[in-house]
């Protein structure tokens, strides 16, 4: 968690990052949209890919692709090695204890569903409770609701303040019932930008012997994550939000828990012996990787982790903090603009509304100016309900964004104001 202090409200001391090399790594950033230079500020939905990632995927398919783990031929061996090298890269990236703790999935959503189905399905009974927070993405709500429907367990959500900060006392109170089987919470909220005090949240749960799952979809590309320091039981993230491809993700799980859990899906590659009478499951991590995985995607994720690690997450965090401060100050000058999510610890995204103008109209007009933002409920409808709004506009930043792009966003928003005046 070494990067966390970089997100405090203290003025950023760092001088601006020289982005020339970084931007040159991203072919798509040279695009023009509606005749205007692309200003891509929808990074919380998905980030763009550096050329090394595109090349790694292309090289896999053009020079050594084959199915993994089962072939005796050279291509299969090479593909298997490249795939498994990424597992070690992910282990090192998260500082997990062993590669047995790294499971490849389709993304955060599947990682959470895996835990809900396997861990939840085997441990949760009627009357048990799952604790989440009020600022979860739907993918950390609905899998638990499905589990509750199946088992008769109850889902409880810890509330947050108007600023978008979790009320820790309320979270702790929910943990005290003696019936909680899991606490599952988001590291960084995609709707508010709030960075939750996840280490404290894990400690509070651990003190009551409650396992924890952290939804890291929005965090791994923006701050250093150390699962052993956090001491969480599960950590989930997606490749496409960390400069890697879509359709691939990771579930970190503590080995002792993963070993005790039943398989999530059955099929090839997750078994050691199959007869019609009985099947023996493969050891970790294969037990949770049924079927042919996204081989080239996993290899692309490895290239993304190399790229990001070479840049350094402290550098990323400092630059994004500058962008957040700069954008926040500029946006607040626009009359009628309200920012939703003003937590002390905040990641580089700004969700906002403009009085009298629907966020979708904002998004459409901005698009014509070449500025890509997201408008909607951001798959976090309970957050919208908390503030009584149907949707927000959201600009979210990545390490390749510049102050000039913030200026372009602000200029385009003034245009929206003029059009609706
Ligand atoms: N959790 C959080 C906090 C997220 O922001 C997202 C995706 C997910 C889980 C799901 O990730 P997936 O890769 O499995 O889809 N968030 C967004 C978003 O904010 N806009 O589009 C997707």
Instruction: Read off the pLDDT of residues 227-269 as tens digits, 9 standing for 90 and up.
Output: 999 999 999 999 999 999 999 999 999 999 999 999 999 999 9
Interstrand relation of 154-158 and 180-186 (parallel, antiparallel or unpaired): unpaired
Which residues lie closer than 8 Å to 185 by C-beta, 6 or more apart?
A: 131, 132, 133, 136, 140, 158, 166, 196, 198, 201, 212, 213, 214, 215
pLDDT tens readout for residues 221-234: 999 999 999 999 99
Domain 13-43+312-419 has CATH 3.90.1150.10: yes
108: its two tokens: 């955060």
**Ligand 1 center to residue 289 CA distance, Å?**
22
Q: Among this protein's residues, is 148 annotated catalytic?
A: no
Other C-beta atoms closer than 10 Å to the C-beta of 58 total: 13
Does 137 sit in the ligand 1 pocket, CB within 6 Å? yes
Kindly report the pTM of this predicted structure: 0.96
Residue with tokens 């890697």: 244
Atom of ligand 1 nearest to the CA of 109: 14
**Ligand 1 center to residue 188 CA distance, Å?**
11
More confident residue, 14 or 394: 394
pLDDT tens readout for residues 299-352: 999 999 999 999 999 999 999 999 999 999 999 999 999 999 999 999 999 999
Mean local confidence (pLDDT), 271-298: 96
Interstrand relation of 371-372 and 39-40 (parallel, antiparallel or unpaired): parallel
To test the ligand 1 pocket, which listed residue (104, 109, 115, 217) has its Cβ within 8 A of the most ligand atoms?
Answer: 217
1 within 8 A of 229, measured Cβ to Cβ: yes
| Average pLDDT for the chain | 95
Closest among 269, 224, 221, 1 to 108, alpha carbons compared: 221
**Ligand 1 center to residue 189 CA distance, Å?**
9
Please report, for the chain, the start and end positions of each structural domain, with discontinuous segments joined by +. Answer: 13-43+312-419, 54-310
The residue whose C-alpha atom lies closest to atom 20 belonging to ligand 1 is 45
Mean local confidence (pLDDT), 30-50: 97
pLDDT of residue 421: 87
Atom of ligand 1 nearest to the CA of 188: 3
Taking every pair of Cα atoms in the chain, the longest distance, rounded to a whole number of angstroms, is 73
Query: How is the chain split among helix, strand and coil, in percent rounded to 5?
Result: 45, 20, 40
From 60, 148, 232, 379, the catalytic residue: 379
pLDDT of residue 15: 61
The answer, yes or no, to whether residue 16 has pLDDT greater than 80, is no
The answer, yes or no, to whether residue 5 has pLDDT greater than 70, is no
Mean local confidence (pLDDT), 157-179: 98
**Ligand 1 center to residue 13 CA distance, Å?**
31
Q: Which residues pair with 251 in a beta bridge?
A: 103, 236
Closest among 211, 207, 161, 162 to 185, alpha carbons compared: 211
Which residues lie closer than 8 Å to 367 by C-beta, 6 or more apart?
A: 33, 34
Separation between Cα atoms, residue 21 and residue 29, nearest integer Å: 12
Separation between Cα atoms, residue 94 and residue 78, nearest integer Å: 25
Asked if the domains 13-43+312-419 and 54-310 are classified in one and the same CATH topology, the answer is: no
Cα–Cα separations (whole angstroms), residue 328 to 39, 50, 396: 17, 27, 12
417 within 8 A of 334, measured Cβ to Cβ: yes
To test the ligand 1 pocket, which listed residue (189, 379, 380) has its Cβ within 8 A of the most ligand atoms?
Answer: 379
Does 186 sit in the ligand 1 pocket, CB within 6 Å? yes
250: its two tokens: 């990771």
pLDDT tens readout for residues 378-396: 999 999 999 999 999 999 9
Separation between Cα atoms, residue 91 and residue 100, nearest integer Å: 9
106 within 8 A of 118, measured Cβ to Cβ: no
pLDDT tens readout for residues 73-98: 999 999 999 999 999 999 999 999 99
Fold category of 54-310 in CATH: 3.40.640
Which residues lie closer than 8 Å to 362 by C-beta, 6 or more apart?
A: 354, 373, 375, 393, 413, 416
pLDDT of residue 395: 99
At residue 40 the predicted structure's pLDDT band, cuts being 50, 70 and 90, is very high
Angle at 150 between CA 293 and CA 233, to 5 degrees: 55
Rg, C-alpha atoms of the chain: 22
Separation between Cα atoms, residue 404 and residue 20, nearest integer Å: 13
Which residues lie closer than 8 Å to 54 by C-beta, 6 or more apart?
A: 27, 300
**Ligand 1 center to residue 366 CA distance, Å?**
22
Does 108 sit in the ligand 1 pocket, CB within 6 Å? yes
10 Å CB burial of residue 26 (0-12, 13-18, 19+) is: buried
Atom of ligand 1 nearest to the CA of 42: 20
For residue 285, cis peptide bond before it (omega within 30 degrees of 0): yes
What 3-state class would DSSP assign to 295? helix
403: its two tokens: 């102050």
């Amino acid at each position: 968690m070494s990067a966390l202090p970089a997100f405090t409200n203290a003025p950023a001391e760092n001088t601006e990052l020289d982005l020339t090399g970084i931007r040159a790594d991203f072919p798509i950033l040279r695009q023009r949209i509606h005749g205007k230079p692309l200003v891509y500020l929808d990074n919380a939905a998905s980030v763009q890919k550096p050329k090394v990632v595109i090349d790694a995927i292309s090289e896999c398919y053009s020079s050594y692709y084959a199915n993994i783990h089962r072939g005796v031929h050279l291509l299969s061996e090479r593909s298997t090695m490249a795939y498994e090298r990424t597992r070690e890269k992910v282990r090192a990236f998260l500082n997990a204890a062993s590669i047995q703790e790294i499971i490849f999935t389709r993304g955060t959503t599947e990682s959470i569903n895996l835990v809900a189905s396997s861990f939840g399905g085997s441990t949760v009974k009627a009357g048990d409770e799952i604790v989440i927070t009020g600022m979860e993405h739907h993918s950390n709500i609905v899998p638990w609701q499905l589990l509750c429907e199946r088992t008769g367990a109850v889902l409880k959500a810890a509330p947050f303040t108007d600023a978008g900060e979790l009320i820790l006392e309320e979270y702790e109170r929910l943990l005290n019932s003696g019936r909680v089987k899991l606490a599952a919470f988001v590291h960084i909220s995609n709707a508010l930008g709030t960075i939750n005090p996840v280490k404290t949240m894990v400690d509070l749960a651990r003190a009551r012997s409650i396992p924890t799952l952290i939804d890291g979809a929005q965090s791994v590309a923006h701050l250093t994550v150390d699962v052993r320091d956090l001491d969480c039981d599960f950590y989930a993230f997606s490749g496409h939000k960390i400069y890697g491809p879509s359709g691939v993700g990771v579930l970190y799980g503590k080995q002792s828990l993963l070993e005790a859990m039943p398989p999530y899906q059955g099929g090839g590659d997750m078994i050691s012996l199959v007869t019609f009478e009985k099947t023996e499951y493969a050891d970790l991590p294969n037990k949770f990787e049924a079927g042919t995985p996204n081989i080239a995607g996993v290899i692309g994720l490895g290239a993304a982790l190399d790229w990001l690690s070479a840049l350094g997450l402290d550098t990323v965090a400092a630059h994004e903090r500058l962008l957040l401060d700069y954008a926040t100050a500029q946006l607040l000058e626009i009359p009628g603009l309200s920012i939703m999510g003003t937590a002390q610890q905040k990641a580089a995204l700004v969700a906002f509304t403009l009085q009298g103008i629907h966020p979708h109209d904002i998004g459409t007009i901005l698009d014509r100016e070449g500025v890509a933002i997201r408008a909607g409920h951001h798959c976090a409808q309970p957050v919208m309900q908390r503030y009584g709004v149907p949707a927000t506009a959201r600009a979210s930043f990545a390490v390749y964004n510049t102050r000039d792009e913030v200026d372009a966003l602000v200029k385009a928003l003034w245009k929206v104001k003029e059009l609706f005046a």
